Structure 1
């Protein structure tokens, strides 16, 4: 199967973007895993497909698959790359605002310039059943037994589930085991993205994320939104926060419950190519 793709990244979180505007593509998990391999394939954290809208209120739809072939509901860095891809394809202009549909629902994007995009990520969801997370009532903090120790986390959905844990040292060896353990914790029936956040000030944090289906990534847009939302709900950060990730920086704006959260960051083209695999 010959498949044209654009290799892109948002702050180091990398993607293969496929044009499915004119024809549906049946991609099986084994093909996605082969493409995602960083030694024998294209190499990416997620694969994104740009497709016709599935309802009249959106301009386009985009699908998301993790590197292991599993589907994903949302990807903050990915939606910025989709918007930049649409701008390069002539579907969006600089300054345009448009609604596109993700597997988790509609998302509004605004093209700030050719490689910078602002995204309306919706309102963070803290109700356990909607994350989903196994807890009786919403809380700012949950104590979980993880890999032999009890840790304190926040749980939130940004269209996909997140566990957020504050730490003093992002390079602490224990995070190497806590990341995968949190991602697959039984309290998250659909798995979770595990974010470890170090607070530098009320306007500045650092973050590392272990993503379900992809492992450690250089950046996670929904993870940055989730970390800010958890800290903001606790009253620990201001309404605008700079989030530094290993691959770059995102700006997250959220005034608090009842309002929508906005993410601004880069979207970069790397190369165009063809997949010649099975």
Structure 2
């Protein structure tokens, strides 16, 4: 199987061009290629496929083989791949995902995509649609007992569920202890991605993320969007926010009039290769 390893600010996936390759059992392949010792090493597998609804379709699998709905960093790499590898010459493209069609604007320099702006769609705050089991229809800074500790949680879906928690210090957080308890918490029937956030100023936040199915990753695009929405709702920031992640920065803008969230960030090719499956 031919593949390209790419990353969006350190959130790395193995990309397969399914215009040329056929992947029979993507869940098993995802587990194999994601292994950082016995495989290629990645946060998961992303298949780039033809689509009847959009210019392309993106099908993603987490490192544990579970299928994901949407990955903000991954979709920027899809945009870079299809342009840089000659599958399109358009700088405005649409990509179908499990959480709907997304629209992307490509910034091209010297024939290569440098950064991508993604219309990530509208945030969902209704608990039943996130889904979250909670005695209120919206959860904005509400208490949640996680492993006998009370956290103030804001719940947002960006096509996938997010729990946003504000802390004074995220650098020293033992995320590998707290993360799994959030991920599998009974309040989240489909499990949850958890963002631990420190507000720096009205336009800047710092976050670490524990992703369902992958553990801590260097970046999560949908998470950065959820954090921006949560930060505005809690009165901590303006609508335009730089989100600082372990792998780099993302620029997020929540257009409240249209209720759309836009994410801008880079995408990079690491290498092309071939693997025996």
Structure 1 length normalisation: TM-score? 0.94
Whether the 8 Å contact between 2:26 and 2:61 is mirrored in structure 1 is no
Shift of 1:25: 2.3
> Is 1:271 matched up with 2:274?
no
Counterpart of 1:150 in 2: which secondary structure? strand
Structure 1, gaps ≥5 residues long: none
Residue 140 (structure 1) aligns with: 140
Within 5 Å, give how 1:145-164 maps onto structure 2: 145-164=145-164
Residue 103 (structure 1) aligns with: 98
Whether the 8 Å contact between 1:251 and 1:263 is mirrored in structure 2 is yes
Alignment equivalent of 2:71, drawn from 55, 69, 75: 75
Residue 256 (structure 1) aligns with: 256
> Is 1:17 matched up with 2:12?
no
Within 5 Å, give how 1:60-209 maps onto structure 2: 60-93=56-89, 96-113=91-108, 114-135=113-134, 136-209=136-209
Whether the 8 Å contact between 1:93 and 1:111 is mirrored in structure 2 is no
Shift of 1:142: 2.2
Counterpart of 2:68 in 1: which secondary structure? coil
Residue deviations 1:54-87, cap 9 Å, x none?
Answer: 32xx111110100000000000000000000001
Alignment equivalent of 1:34, drawn from 24, 32, 35: 32
Structure 2, gaps ≥5 residues long: none
Whether the 8 Å contact between 1:22 and 1:52 is mirrored in structure 2 is no
Structure 2 length normalisation: TM-score? 0.94
Residue deviations 1:111-142, cap 9 Å, x none?
Answer: 01212100000011101111111123113122
Aligned residues: 272
Residue 5 (structure 2) aligns with: 7
> CA RMSD for the aligned pairs?
1.4
Whether the 8 Å contact between 1:142 and 1:152 is mirrored in structure 2 is yes
Name the CA distance, whole Å, in 2 between partners of 1:180 and 1:19: 33
Name the CA distance, whole Å, in 2 between partners of 1:223 and 1:49: 21
Whether the 8 Å contact between 1:32 and 1:47 is mirrored in structure 2 is yes
Whether the 8 Å contact between 2:116 and 2:266 is mirrored in structure 1 is yes
Name the CA distance, whole Å, in 2 between partners of 1:171 and 1:147: 21
- C-alpha change, 1:257 and 1:144, in structure 2 (3 Å) is farther
